[in-house]
Amino acid sequence: MLLFLACNADKDVVVEGVDHQIIGKWQLEATKISPGGIVDWTNITKGPIFEFKSDGTFELSKSDLCPKEVLGTFSITEDTMNLEYFCDSNSSDTSYYYSFEDGKLILGFIGCIEECSYRYKPVN
């Protein structure tokens, strides 16, 4: 019985306010970045992978912000996701609109004048 209880103690703690549909691994598969005008999705090969955890933390396999794996925290309010990245002793905050479309995660950068969207596919 003690062994069973000890194993259950290792489970992730579910944080309120976290969209449980987002928990898991998501790999960037396409971007829609407009320099001004209408654009379509541009496919990405071997894009970075986000792993969102139920305790409100995430890992990002690579980023322009940091040459190594990035760790951070995230929070969700209505249709907005706020990410706080930690790389070495530096941190950075970024906010996105988020939605799900055909089982894919769409992040749209808040503050972008034109289209700045990123489409992620689930990773098993």
Number of domains in the chain: 1
Give the domain extent around 31.
13-123
Read off the pLDDT of residues 60-82 as tens digits, 9 standing for 90 and up: 887 666 767 788 999 998 889 99
In a domain, 8, yes or no: no
In a domain, 39, yes or no: yes
Name the residue among 15, 45, 26, 33 with its Cα closest to residue 99. Answer: 26
For residue 13, pLDDT beyond 50: no
In a domain, 2, yes or no: no
pLDDT of residue 111: 81
Distance of alpha carbon 92 from alpha carbon 83, whole angstroms: 8
